[in-house]
Amino acid sequence: MQISDILLPSAVKSVSQVSSKKRLFQDVAELAQTVYRVDAVRTFDALQERESLGPTGVGNGVALPHARLHGLDKVVALFFRLEKPMDFDAVDKLPVDLVFALLAPQSSGVDHLKALALVSRTLRDADLRAKLRANDDPVALHAVLAAAQDSQAA
C-alpha cells in the first residue's frame, strides 16, 4: 500500500483557518462526501466518536483522525494543511497544522491498521513535514506525499 493508493489529489486541501476541531471534522466530512461519495453526517459523527476515545494528535504538529464507515469498499484518505495551527490535544501539547484523515470500511481490519502505520511512518519524517508546511498548493502537497512514500519504498 502506498499513500497514492489511498489519497486522491482532489482530497488534499490547504485551509487558511479552522476555528475548532469540530469545524475541521465538518470540513473533512464535506470533502469526503464530495470526493469519495460517503455521507458527510455519518463521516463527521464517526470522526467525533473516535476522537472522544482519545485525541488523534500524534505530535510534531500532526493529527491522524480516523474512523470506520459503512459504504466504503477500501481505505481512503484526506489531507489538510492548516495555515494557522490549532490545538488538537496532541500528545506533545503542540498545535497541529498537518491533518491526515483516514476513513476505512467498517470491516477493514488489517488494511485500516496498515494505512495508519503507513501514514504515521511517513509523517514522522521532519524533512517531509517541512516540505508540506512550505507549500500551500494542493497539487504540490499531494505530489510531496506521494513522492515521500515512493522514496521510502526504494
Predicted confidence pLDDT, tens digits, the chain (154 residues): 889 888 999 999 999 888 888 999 999 999 999 999 999 999 999 999 988 888 888 889 999 999 988 888 888 999 999 999 998 888 889 999 999 999 988 887 777 778 888 888 888 999 999 999 999 899 999 999 988 854 444 3
| DSSP string for 9-74 | EEEEEEES--S-HHHHHHHHHHHHHHHH---HHHHHHHHHHHHHHS--EEETTEE--EEEETT-SS
What is the per-residue pLDDT for 154? 36
All structural domains of the chain with their residue ranges: 3-153
Give this prediction's pTM. Answer: 0.91
Place of cell 499513500: 3
What is the per-residue pLDDT for 64? 92
Long-range Cβ pairs for the range 116-124 (8 Å, 24+): 116/64, 116/66, 118/1, 118/2, 118/3, 118/149, 119/3, 119/64, 119/77, 120/58, 120/64, 121/152, 122/3, 122/148, 122/149, 122/152, 123/58, 123/60, 123/62, 123/64, 123/98, 124/60
CATH number for the segment(s) 3-153: 3.40.930.10
Catalytic residue among 66, 70, 112, 142: 66
| Catalytic (active site) residue 70 | no
